[in-house]
Amino acid sequence: MKHFKPSTTLTSLPKQFFAGLVQKVNAVIAQGHDVINLGQGNPDKPTPNHIIQALQQAVAEPVHHKYPPFRGHPSLKQAVADFYAKEYGVTVNPETEVAILFGGKAGLVELPICFTEPGDSILVPDPGYPDYWSGAALARVNMEMMPLLAENQFLPDYRSINRDVAKRAKMMFLNYPNNPTGAIATPAFFDETVAFAKQHDILICHDFAYGAIGFEGKKPLSFLQTPGAKDVGIEIYTFSKTYNMAGWRIAFAVGNASVIEGMNVLQDHMYVSIFGAVQEAARQALLQPQDCVTELVACYESRRNALISACHQIGWEVTAPEGSFFAWLKVPEGYTSQQFADILLEQAHVAVAPGSGFGSHGEGYVRVGLLHTEERLREAVNRISQLGIFKKALTS
């Protein structure tokens, strides 16, 4: 059989980090071991019942058996505008400032294709969500990495960005609450971001995937709450995390009208929008009471507290995340992130994501998902304690 050579575009794509992690985990499971997989970000709770019922009812409607409008149903876009007004006090024009997306990842990958030219530069957080790199590869642009350091609360320091780098940059990705660090943004930081973007004519994309998940009573900020934010960028919000709808593949972008139009133009050529019944269920998710979200956040906070407490009890000095459903845990001295992750998987049968998979500044950490019960999280830490790695810390 003839082998067809893939295009340069295809071969330039970065290796899928999580695909390799899944292969390792499955190999250990195949050996008959019970693996506690804390390495991935797949919500473990079901979609709330009222959203499922909305889908079931909408599926029977003949209007949804036809092609939906190319750019999404106006009713969903109006619901997005109502949601942002209620949750964040932000006014959004549903006709010109909302784009319906096939999941947040699709929007993140599309943006560099829409608004950069080959050879341009974009600013990317390090560590950060690896699919930012996918959009950069498809657009054939250069990535300039912005270190996220603990001493700066995992926020990029714009003063440290070389002036020539800032001048070349066309786009910037940000993500708060942050994956993988669990950090949250402050109003002052977003003010700095708007000023920096205006100074250097940079398009800001704020990935607000974990926008609903803040701990200790802190509601995460929307970038669009910042004065001038819509002048310089957009925000991408997904239903995956807020409503446990990861498999439904629906999200939206809000913000600068010219950016929204560009995304819509590209999607006009790639899709005919999303199944109308899914859009109707998403609309109901936004408009109905948000009790299910409050309960979900409380669940994640309880899990966070259980995990961090268990780590401290075995002598593992770690910091609790402020948001998201991830914990960013410091690797003990003498190990790389990959070495430590491999030992936990092979000897304790606990899977974590090595921080180096999120960028060079992720080295020295592992990412742990809060996507198991408190009992299972405690069991994972107990298994790790049996390795004796933290024995010295306990006796010191």
For the full predicted model, state whether its pTM sits above 0.85: yes
What is the C-alpha to C-alpha distance for residues 380 and 298, in angstroms, rounded to an integer? 21
Q: 326-339 as b/e, with b when 16 or more CB fall inside 10 Å? A: bbbbbbeeeeebee
Where does a domain end: 271, 287, 303?
287
Q: Is residue 1 part of a domain?
A: no
Which residues constitute the domain of residue 62?
49-287
Where does a domain end: 228, 253, 287?
287
What is the C-alpha to C-alpha distance for residues 225 and 393, in angstroms, rounded to an integer? 44
Q: Note whether 264 and 302 are same-domain residues.
A: no
Q: Note whether 195 and 262 are same-domain residues.
A: yes
Angstrom CA distances, 98 to 19, 53, 69, 236, stand at 32, 25, 14, 10
Do residues 106 and 153 lie in contact, with contact meaning Cβ atoms separated by under 8 Å? no
Do residues 40 and 26 lie in contact, with contact meaning Cβ atoms separated by under 8 Å? no
pLDDT by residue, tens only, the chain of 396 residues: 989 999 998 999 988 777 788 899 999 999 999 999 999 889 999 999 999 999 999 999 999 999 999 999 999 999 999 999 999 999 999 999 999 999 999 999 999 999 999 999 999 999 999 999 999 999 999 999 999 999 999 999 999 999 999 999 999 999 999 999 999 999 999 999 999 999 999 999 999 999 999 999 999 999 999 999 999 999 999 999 999 999 999 999 999 999 999 999 999 999 888 999 999 999 999 999 999 999 999 999 999 999 999 999 999 999 999 999 999 999 999 999 999 999 999 999 999 999 999 999 999 999 999 999 999 999 999 999 999 998 744 444
Which helix (H) or strand (E) segment holds residue 137: the answer is: helix 131-139
Q: Is residue 142 part of a domain?
A: yes
Q: Is residue 371 part of a domain?
A: yes
Do residues 344 and 317 lie in contact, with contact meaning Cβ atoms separated by under 8 Å? no
Residues in the chain: 396
Helices and strands per DSSP (H, E), number in the chain: 16, 12
Q: Note whether 40 and 68 are same-domain residues.
A: no
Q: What's the CATH code of the domain at 273?
A: 3.40.640.10
Q: Is residue 279 part of a domain?
A: yes
Is 228 exposed, middle or buried, given 0-12, 13-18 or 19+ CB atoms closer than 10 A? middle
What φ, ψ does residue 210 adopt, rounded to 5°? -105, 30
| Nearest one of 69, 75, 110 to 94, comparing CA atoms | 75
Where does a domain end: 287, 314, 347?
287
What φ, ψ does residue 284 adopt, rounded to 5°? -65, -35
Q: Note whether 13 and 55 are same-domain residues.
A: no
Q: Note whether 281 and 378 are same-domain residues.
A: no
Number of domains in the chain: 2
Q: Note whether 223 and 324 are same-domain residues.
A: no
pLDDT recorded at residue 22: 87
User: Encoding tokens for residue 303?
Assistant: 């899990």
Q: Is residue 2 part of a domain?
A: no
What is the C-alpha to C-alpha distance for residues 176 and 5, in angstroms, rounded to an integer? 40
Q: Note whether 39 and 69 are same-domain residues.
A: no
Q: Note whether 111 and 230 are same-domain residues.
A: yes
| Nearest one of 366, 302, 282 to 78, comparing CA atoms | 282
Q: Note whether 246 and 195 are same-domain residues.
A: yes
pLDDT recorded at residue 109: 96
pLDDT recorded at residue 396: 40
Is 163 exposed, middle or buried, given 0-12, 13-18 or 19+ CB atoms closer than 10 A? exposed
Residues in CB range of 32: below 8 A, 6 or more apart: none
Q: Note whether 114 and 204 are same-domain residues.
A: yes
pLDDT recorded at residue 21: 85
Residues in CB range of 385: below 8 A, 6 or more apart: 314
Q: Note whether 34 and 76 are same-domain residues.
A: no
pLDDT recorded at residue 15: 82
Q: Is residue 3 part of a domain?
A: no
pLDDT recorded at residue 233: 97
Q: Note whether 283 and 296 are same-domain residues.
A: no
pLDDT recorded at residue 96: 98
Q: What's the CATH code of the domain at 305?
A: 3.90.1150.10
